[in-house]
Amino acid sequence: MKKFICVLGLLTMCSGCSLFQSNTSLMKPPELPANQQELKKAIQQYVPAQAEWVSPANEKKANKIIKEDLDQNGKNELIVFYRLPEETTQMEAIVLKKIKKKWQRIAHLKDLGRELDKVEFNDLTNDNVKEVFIGFSYSKDSPEKALTVFDIHGKKPKKLFESPYSAFFSGDFNDDNKGELLLSLLEPNQKHEVSLYHVKQKQIETIDQLKLNPYVYDYYQSRSGRISPSIKGAIFDAGMGAHSSLSFIVGVINNQLVNVIPKNMKEEDLFRASSGMSDDTNGDGILEFSLQKEANKDLPYSEMPLIDQYYQLDDDQVATMIQRSYSNRAYAYKIKIPKEWHDVEIHVSEDRRYVKLLSSEDGSLLFDVFVEDKGKQSDLQEWNVITETNQFQYLTKSLPEEWKSFFQLIS
């Protein structure tokens, strides 16, 4: 009886709450922050309810609500791309600006294909308002892409420029404190051109054009920025054959586009046996191009592990190697190879889970990585845990002070 009274008392105390929540309430999505709710509500005034909001495929962490200070007054405008379910319709975009504490549409952009590839903003017209650079395609698998540049400074948006492209970048490439457009167009085995544009007297004009070797496959990566301490430009990584690749280094020098071949190398030296990624690997603001070195003389070429060697140009266009690494793309990590390890031999297990870096001089173990499925029970007493993901655990026999500077996950 006492137990019954206690239970009854508990139920009475909880009369304003629920001891057992329904499935519906448990599955209720978390509420958006107040600021996000405000933005979403403002956008929904102008975007059809059935529309799908779209983010650029070119950006790994793209947001479907793009924030950008277009008129450079210290306050962001909002840009949202969307498409309707019907496959015959094209993508559209709206630009919203906060006027008198209320978000209002200041531009409506149309005829933008079906797939959004890339979006950039830059003041090409030198009027202190950034233009909107939109790269798109008409289908998901199409290699053919189109760029449209919109000037939204005025009552109606104006198309400044339209062109097919393989890669494009906006920025001040010739250090004249004005925006330019660097655009490349590659039609494998037919045409390969890079063009530099600027606006003169409210019209887009070509500053220079450069023809490159067209006998390559499509780009699998491209980067723009400084290619040496004082030269700006871009590096285009293109495929050649089944696995091989080549980098095209293009610099803007005295207002001219230059196909830069390092003075201490030949053009054929830029050929790689596999796909290498050009990037700013050491974070100094200068892009590096990669070459590759075989890392095990006893293996057939088809099984050969390759060391990526990253080279940086100086202003005299001489290349110097600044970093080396080995990438295990099957398990998404790379091992940085320090300069002290002069000659390295790499052994990789058949399933690619175990990688050993050995000294070519005496065969001693320099570093190793073993990848184990997360949660799998194994005898790993001799191993140190480097890190783990949702799927894998990364282990090594090396000490923490060593692997912390050598090991890096890659996306």
Task: Using the predicted structure, report yes or no on whether residue 145 has a pLDDT greater than 70.
Answer: yes
- Report pLDDT for 23: 39
Length of the chain, please?
Answer: 411
Mean pLDDT across 330-334: 95
Helix (H) or strand (E) segment spanning residue 39 = helix 34-44
Q: Between 15 and 68, name the one with better pLDDT.
A: 68
Give the model confidence (pLDDT) of 12-21 as tens digits: 444 344 333 3
pLDDT band at 284 (very low <50, low <70, confident <90, very high): very high
Residue 317 Cα distances to 91, 112, 391, angstroms? 43, 40, 44
Query: How many C-alpha atoms does 67 have within 13 Å on its Cβ side?
Result: 8
Give the model confidence (pLDDT) of 104-134 as tens digits: 999 999 999 999 999 999 999 999 999 999 9
Task: Using the predicted structure, report yes or no on whether residue 212 has a pLDDT greater than 70.
Answer: yes
Residue 114 Cα distances to 48, 166, 221, angstroms? 16, 17, 22
- Report pLDDT for 33: 56
What is the identity of the amino acid at 363?
Answer: G
Q: Mean pLDDT of all residues in the chain?
A: 88
User: Above pLDDT 70, what percent of the chain?
Assistant: 91
Q: Which residue matches tokens 């290349």?
A: 319
- Report pLDDT for 301: 79
Task: Using the predicted structure, report yes or no on whether residue 391 has a pLDDT greater than 60.
Answer: yes
- Report pLDDT for 34: 58
Residues linked to residue 375 through DSSP beta bridges, in sequence order: none
Q: Which residue matches tokens 């958006």?
A: 32
Task: Using the predicted structure, report yes or no on whether residue 29 has a pLDDT greater than 50.
Answer: no
Task: Using the predicted structure, report yes or no on whether residue 376 has a pLDDT greater than 60.
Answer: yes
